[in-house]
Amino acid sequence: MLDVSSERIDAGGSAPDILRSRLSVRDQKSAKGNSIAYDDHAAVSLIKCRGSKVQEEDISILIKLLKPARPDEAAMMRLAERYTASVESQNPCKAAS
């Protein structure tokens, strides 16, 4: 069973910090310049909304495997990358007001 959630947060954090604070994951790996952090049962990715036509913020995506069949860090990293790419393709950053 998989649980995926997202939220808009203040700009400037890192995925490792969010994974550590939300799920207390200490032994984690990171990828893509700290925009993805993962271990064998969870991952966090960040979409950074920047530019003159968007509100400066980040979108945090948290993926948790609730009943792991087997630990697999590489699979969690790939899942985070692909899910984030899918969300990014929908242009989720809000226009600046």
User: How many domains would you assign to the chain?
Assistant: 1
Residue 6: inside a domain, yes or no?
yes
Residue that the structure tokens 């939220």 belong to: 7
pTM greater than the 0.75 cutoff:
yes
Q: pLDDT, tens digit, for every residue of 50-81?
A: 987 888 999 999 999 988 678 899 999 999 99
Max CA distance (Å), the chain: 46
Which pLDDT does position 97 carry in this prediction? 62
Cα 79 from Cα 20, distance rounded (Å): 19
Domain around 18: 2-88
| SS3 assignment for 51-88 | CCCECCEEEEEEEEECCCCCCCHHHHHHHHHHHHHHHH
12, 49 Cβ separation under 8 angstroms:
no
Structure tokens at 12: 């400037």
Residue 56: inside a domain, yes or no?
yes
Residue 28: inside a domain, yes or no?
yes
47, 80 Cβ separation under 8 angstroms:
no
Assess whether pLDDT exceeds 90 at residue 28: yes
Residue 93: inside a domain, yes or no?
no
Task: Calculate mean pLDDT across residues 1-11.
Answer: 93
Residue 97: inside a domain, yes or no?
no
Q: pLDDT, tens digit, for every residue of 14-24?
A: 999 999 999 99
